[in-house]
């Protein structure tokens, strides 16, 4: 695949990341008390998994193995963060 197409894939991915980050920032600003702390973890983990899925797809489409691997890593990190949120909920008795 020509480098120009890989660069385009990375640019699309960066824009998507920026939009997801902005959406998460707006959503988490609204979450400000202990009762909704679980929601913050779950929102952030969902966003991380979505970014990962997008990166993985863009990587596959453009034949960029590095981007595809980054996507898989981001998805895994999101799943871990979701598990951490679940553990926090359990410790709080929710």
pLDDT 10s digits, 35-86: 555 577 888 888 889 889 998 998 888 898 998 999 999 999 999 988 988 8
* Predicted local confidence at residue 42, as pLDDT: 80
Position 11 confidence tier, pLDDT thresholds 50, 70, 90: confident
H/E run at residue 3:
helix 3-29
pTM as predicted: 0.64
How far is it, in rounded angstroms, from Cα 4 to Cα 10? Answer: 10
* Predicted local confidence at residue 73, as pLDDT: 95
Question: How is residue 71 written in tokens?
Answer: 């996507």
How far is it, in rounded angstroms, from Cα 87 to Cα 57? Answer: 30
């Amino acid at each position: 695949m020509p480098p120009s197409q890989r660069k385009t894939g990375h640019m699309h991915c960066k824009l998507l990341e920026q939009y997801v980050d902005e959406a998460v920032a707006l959503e988490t600003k609204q979450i400000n008390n202990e009762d909704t702390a679980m929601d913050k973890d779950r929102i952030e983990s969902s966003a991380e998994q979505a970014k990962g899925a997008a990166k993985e797809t863009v990587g596959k489409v453009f034949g960029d193995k590095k981007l595809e691997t980054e996507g898989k890593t981001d998805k895994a990190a999101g799943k871990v963060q979701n598990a951490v949120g679940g553990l926090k909920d359990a410790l709080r008795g929710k």
